[in-house]
């Protein structure tokens, strides 16, 4: 068994053999990404979601969040950044990289945003899905296709249940919405927060999903009314979230209390169905 095969085997074991599942159900990975925008070989992995093609273009994987690489000036280092980069490098090695169009084509730094697939000996691996299934990445606040988001969330939930990768570290534990002080202490971080919705209110162009009665102190999720159509299309009606247990993902901000803006339906999962 060569180095590449050994690494893929390890990733398969770590992710409950999702590699094999992807081969058995190829349609499930085909739902992510649009048309093919590029093919080539990967040069090097820059971090856990960024790599260079052999022609010099830098590609950023759409739909996932990974820990940053540690920097000398960091006083607090998010664990897992180096491991995520190494996992990406292993997946990209010695195969043809196929890039499929993401909903947003590039970021503000000029990186091409794409869904990446690696083909080797007739087998195609979906890079984002492999990283998530191994616990080396989390599903981002914006994915694009709701079917793609559902598939990636399914893999993330399995990795979290098995405490693989990041999920085995207490740094990445889910936050409890009932403890807003703890959530607020993590402002500026991408996080997942769970709790029971107390009420849903509307004011002007905004819907407020409240997790407590002290609106200036408790955790709140906001949804702009102009985005409601996409939530309804995904079968998620904001006005009916009161009394439901949900999981929200996004960047934690502060508006008196902790706050996340949900611009996409994939940011909210109904956990009382689990």
Domain covering 174-273 in this structure, CATH number: 2.40.50.140
In the chain, list all ranges with CATH 2.40.50.140. Answer: 174-273
Instruction: Say if residues 207 and 223 touch (Cβ distance below 8 Å).
Output: yes
Residues 6+ apart with CB under 8 A from 189: 251, 252
Give the single-character DSSP code of 20: H
Q: Which long-range contacts (CB under 8 A, 24 or more apart) does 82-85 make?
A: 83/48, 83/136, 83/165, 84/47, 84/48, 84/49, 84/131, 84/136, 84/137, 85/45, 85/46, 85/47, 85/48
Per-residue pLDDT of the chain (274 residues; tens, 9 = 90+): 333 343 344 344 343 333 433 343 444 556 899 999 999 998 899 999 999 998 888 999 999 999 999 887 766 778 999 999 999 999 998 789 999 999 988 888 888 899 999 987 788 899 999 999 999 999 999 998 889 999 999 999 999 999 999 999 999 999 999 999 999 999 999 999 999 999 999 999 999 999 999 888 999 999 999 999 999 999 999 999 999 999 999 999 998 899 999 999 999 999 987 6
The DSSP H or E segment spanning 24 is helix 18-24
Indicate the pTM of the whole model. 0.85
In the chain, list all ranges with CATH 2.40.50.90. Answer: 3-168
pLDDT at 144: 85
pLDDT at 13: 37
Q: Could you tell me the sign of the dihedral formed by the alpha carbons of 107, 30, 47, 254, in that order?
A: positive
Q: Which fold has domain 3-168?
A: OB fold (Dihydrolipoamide Acetyltransferase, E2P) (2.40.50)
């Amino acid at each position: 068994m060569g180095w590449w095969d050994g690494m893929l085997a390890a990733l398969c074991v770590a992710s409950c053999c999702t590699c094999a599942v992807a081969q058995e159900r190829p349609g499930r990975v085909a739902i992510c990404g649009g048309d093919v925008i590029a093919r080539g070989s990967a040069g090097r992995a820059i971090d856990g979601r960024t790599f260079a093609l052999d022609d010099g273009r830098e590609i950023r994987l759409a739909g996932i969040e990974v820990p940053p690489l540690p920097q000398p000036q960091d006083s607090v280092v998010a664990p897992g950044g180096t491991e995520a980069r190494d996992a990406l490098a292993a997946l990209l090695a010695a195969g043809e990289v196929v890039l499929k169009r993401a909903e947003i084509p590039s970021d503000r730094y000029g990186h091409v945003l794409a869904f990446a697939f690696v083909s080797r000996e007739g087998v195609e691996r979906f890079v984002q899905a492999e990283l998530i299934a191994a616990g080396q990445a989390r599903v981002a606040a914006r994915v694009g296709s709701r079917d793609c988001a559902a598939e990636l969330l399914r893999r993330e939930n399995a990795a979290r249940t098995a405490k693989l990768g990041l999920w085995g570290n207490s740094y990445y534990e889910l936050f409890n919405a009932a403890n807003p002080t703890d959530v607020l202490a993590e402002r500026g971080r991408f996080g997942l927060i769970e709790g029971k919705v107390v009420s849903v209110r509307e004011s002007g162009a905004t819907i407020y999903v409240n997790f407590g009665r002290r609106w200036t102190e408790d955790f709140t999720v906001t949804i702009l009314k102009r985005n409601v159509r996409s939530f309804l299309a995904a079968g998620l009606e904001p006005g009916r979230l009161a009394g439901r247990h949900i999981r929200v993902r996004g960047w934690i901000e502060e508006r008196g209390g902790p706050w996340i803006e949900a611009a996409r339906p994939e940011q909210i999962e109904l956990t009382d169905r689990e």
